[in-house]
Amino acid sequence: MKITLAGGNVIDGYLPSPKGSFYNPLSQDEVREKFIRLGSAVLSEDRLNSLIEKVDNIEKEEDTSRLASLLSHQSEISRRQNVN
């Protein structure tokens, strides 16, 4: 990639594997941070943390319907309306 600055200087660089790609994956903490950052627009922090816990322990779940329910934006809206 080359960037030409307003003064005419040129900066070039190469990043063979951008962060988050197959060859340069995000760490578990980075994935969690990204999930919370993006999910917080539609789900509460408690709901997001519950989802993370369920996914981290999914092999222990006999029934994954609770996971599907936690993912539902509509159920979050209903929960918020019942709280108010």
Q: What is the pTM of this model?
A: 0.64
Model pLDDT for residues 50-73, shown as the tens digit of each residue: 999 999 999 998 888 888 888 876
Per the structure, the complete domain to which residue 77 belongs is given by 40-84
Please tell me the predicted confidence (pLDDT) of residue 4.
94
Residue 81 falls inside a structural domain: yes
Q: How is the chain split among helix, strand and coil, in percent rounded to 5?
A: 55, 10, 35
Please tell me the predicted confidence (pLDDT) of residue 73.
65
Residue 7 falls inside a structural domain: no
Residue 11 falls inside a structural domain: no
Q: How many structural domains comprise the chain? A: 1
Residue 83 falls inside a structural domain: yes
Contact in structure between 66 and 54 (CB atoms under 8 Å):
yes
Number of H helices, E strands in the chain: 4, 2
